């Protein structure tokens, strides 16, 4: 998909001030949020686009760079990163993080957002990419992945204090949060922010643990097993709740966002739920017809090539119906198509040469008639 101008994406003009940008962004982000549009790739794409545009345009340094140099002047992934390591380009994980930063702890969709304590106390989200083969995508798979992340410190058992004792914060009285009631265009909302003195924890550590320096977390790893359903598409993601970074000082963990990527297949081309592969055949097979065994995603199947089959013809053999990939929502698998490629032999044996020469005499030199629809099929086969 070609990238659209960031201003166009948000539907604002180039002179729009921050307030206008924000309003436009909030409206569109809510409209296209994936939680409201499950299994809608179009909405997901728009959601990413809207977040990317806003991340750049709200930034006082990036916006002039974008105005002057366009996309070359800005790096959306870097803008989105804000402490996040790894990742390529601006993807759905970046978009969701950008969204959460903007909307904070408000529980917009009645989901799991928000908590008893301020969100600063929650561990960060982690994102990984998971590369899948078409074979794995076709039947679903279980994948073990190792994630680098913050884990609870074992020395202090995540408490952050060497002795295990803390004192109650005198500013927030131990709740860790400061509440404010605000009116905004979304209606009246209770805004909750972390207490500055205790960083949202409600307690103050007087003797920090030497291992984690009082944070309660250290760098570590977790190996987790992921069940990937069949039919996922490039860029689909799943959120594994509670498997992001451990929260500081026993705070709730963040989430792990797993973004799927599709490994290119040496033989098969994916078109949604359908598969397309090339079928090279000899000229005599194209002329006389043949039964031939072809590879499929799950094994092999025998298909019939009719006499007089032209090169470039795309076949949808009965034997390959349903040999594609199922839909993400449990829809039936698509079909496996074959694109016939009649291969002209470049090297001939002595016998072959004799036979071709004989054929040349019989066929003569009058140009052959092109079959009706030949060029339509060529266009169909090789795409726009
Ligand atoms: Zn510790
Ligand atoms: Zn406090």
The answer to whether the CB of 244 falls within 8 A of the CB of 123 is: yes
| Cα–Cα distance measured from residue 28 to residue 9, given in angstroms and rounded to the nearest whole number | 9
Are residues 146 and 243 located together in one domain of the fold?
Answer: yes
Q: How far is the CA of 193 from the centre of ligand 1 (A)?
A: 25
Helix (H, G, I), strand (E, B) or coil at 78: helix
Query: 256 CA to middle of ligand 2, Å?
Result: 28
- Answer with the one of 53, 81, 103 that is the final residue of a domain: 103
- Domain check: are 218 and 332 in the same one? no
- Predicted confidence (pLDDT) per residue in 197-256, tens digit: 887 778 888 899 999 988 899 999 999 999 999 999 988 888 999 999 999 888 889 999
Q: What is the pLDDT of residues 92-129, one digit of tens each?
A: 777 877 777 776 544 343 333 334 444 457 899 999 99
Proximal ligand: closest to the CA of 166: 2
108 located within any domain: no
Q: Compute the distance from residue 122 Cα to the ligand 1 centre, in Å.
A: 17
Q: Is residue 346 part of a domain?
A: yes
Same domain, 283 and 344: yes
Would the pTM of this model clear 0.95, i.e. be above it? no
Ligand 1 mean position, distance from CA 249 (Å):
9
Half-sphere exposure of 98 (CA within 13 A, CB side): 31
CA 169 to centroid of ligand 2, rounded, Å: 5
CB environment 257-287: b (16+ within 10 A), e (fewer)? bbbbebeeeeebebeebbbbbebebeeebbe
Same domain membership, residue 87 and residue 126: no
Q: Specify if 51 maps to a domain.
A: yes
**CA 155–ligand 2 middle distance (angstroms):** 24
| DSSP 3-state of 304 | strand
Report yes or no on 348 lying in a domain. yes
Answer yes or no: do 66 and 147 share one domain. no
Are 125 and 241 part of one and the same domain?
yes
The total number of structural domains that make up the chain: 3
Ligand 1 centroid to 255 CA: how many Å?
A: 22
Residues 66 and 56: beta-carbon distance below 8 Å: yes
Q: What is the DSSP string of 47-71?
A: HHHHHHHHHHHTSTTHHHHHHHHGG
Of all ligands present, the nearest one to the C-alpha of 160 is: 1
Q: Which ligand is nearest to the CA of 117?
A: 2
Instruction: Give the long-range contacts of residues 82-88, CB within 8 A, separation 24 or more.
Output: 83/124, 84/124, 84/125, 84/127, 86/127, 86/128, 87/127, 87/129, 88/129
Ramachandran angles phi, psi of 332, nearest 5°: -60, 150
Q: What's the pLDDT score for residue 93? A: 76
pLDDT at 192 over 80: no
CA atoms within 13 A on the CB side of 297: 30
- The answer to whether residues 137 and 238 belong to one domain is yes
| pLDDT at res. 237 | 87
Which residues sit opposite 240 in a β-bridge? Answer: 256
Structural domain range at position 224: 115-262
In a domain, 110, yes or no: no
Regarding whether 21 and 5 lie in a shared domain, the answer is yes
Among the bound ligands, name the one nearest to the CA of residue 118: 2
Say if residue 123 is in the same domain as residue 18.
Answer: no
Between CA 325 and CA 296 the distance in angstroms is 11
Least confident of 41-45, 193-197, 256-260: 193-197
Quick one: 123 and 45 in the same domain? Answer: no
126 and 189 fall within a common domain? yes
Q: How far is the CA of 247 from the centre of ligand 1 (A)?
A: 13
CATH number where 258 lies: 2.60.260.20
In a domain, 109, yes or no: no
Question: What residues pack around ion ligand 1 (CB closer than 5 A)?
Answer: 153, 155-156, 209, 211-212
Which residues, at least 6 apart from 90, have a Cβ–Cβ distance to it below 8 Å? 48, 51, 52, 55, 76, 77, 79, 80
Does 224 fall in a domain?
yes
Last residue of a domain, one of 76, 103, 130: 103
- CATH code of 35's domain: 1.10.287.110
Q: In this structure, is residue 203 part of a structural domain?
A: yes
């Amino acid at each position: 998909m070609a990238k659209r101008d960031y201003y166009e994406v948000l539907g604002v003009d180039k002179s729009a001030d921050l307030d206008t940008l924000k309003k436009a962004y909030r409206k569109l982000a809510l409209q296209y949020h994936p939680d409201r549009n499950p299994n809608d790739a179009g909405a997901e794409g728009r959601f990413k686009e809207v977040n990317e545009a806003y991340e750049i345009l709200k930034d006082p340094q990036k916006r002039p760079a974008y105005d002057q140099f366009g996309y070359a002047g800005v790096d959306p992934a870097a803008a989105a990163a804000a402490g996040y390591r790894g990742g390529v380009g601006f993807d759905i994980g970046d978009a969701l993080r950008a969204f959460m930063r903007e909307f904070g702890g408000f529980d917009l969709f009645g989901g799991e957002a928000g908590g008893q304590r301020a969100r600063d106390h929650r561990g960060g989200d982690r994102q990984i990419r998971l590369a899948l083969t078409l074979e794995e995508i076709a039947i679903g798979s279980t994948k073990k992945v190792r994630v680098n992340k913050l884990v609870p410190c074992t020395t202090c058992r995540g408490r952050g204090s060497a002795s295990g004792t803390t004192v109650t914060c005198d500013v927030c009285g131990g709740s860790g949060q400061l509440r404010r009631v605000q009116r905004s265009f979304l209606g009246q909302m209770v805004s909750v922010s972390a207490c500055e003195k205790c960083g949202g924890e409600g307690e103050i550590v007087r003797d920090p643990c030497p291992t984690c320096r009082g944070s309660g977390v250290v760098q570590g790893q977790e190996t987790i097993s992921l069940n990937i359903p069949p039919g996922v598409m490039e860029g689909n993601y799943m959120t594994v709740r509670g498997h992001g970074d451990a929260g500081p000082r026993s705070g709730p963990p963040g989430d792990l966002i797993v973004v799927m990527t599709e490994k290119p297949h040496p033989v098969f081309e994916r078109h949604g739920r359908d598969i397309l592969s090339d079928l090279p055949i000899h000229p005599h097979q194209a002329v006389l017809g043949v039964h031939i065994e072809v590879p499929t995603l799950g094994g092999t199947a025998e298909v019939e090539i009719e006499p007089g089959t032209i090169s470039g013809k795309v076949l949808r053999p009965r034997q390959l119906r349903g040999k594609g990939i199922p839909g993400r929502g449990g829809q039936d698998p698509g079909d496996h198509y074959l694109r016939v490629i009649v291969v002209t032999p470049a090297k001939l044996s002595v016998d072959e040469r004799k036979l071709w020469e004989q054929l040349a005499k019989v066929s003569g030199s009058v140009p052959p008639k092109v079959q009706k629809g030949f060029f339509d099929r060529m266009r169909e086969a090789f795409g726009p």
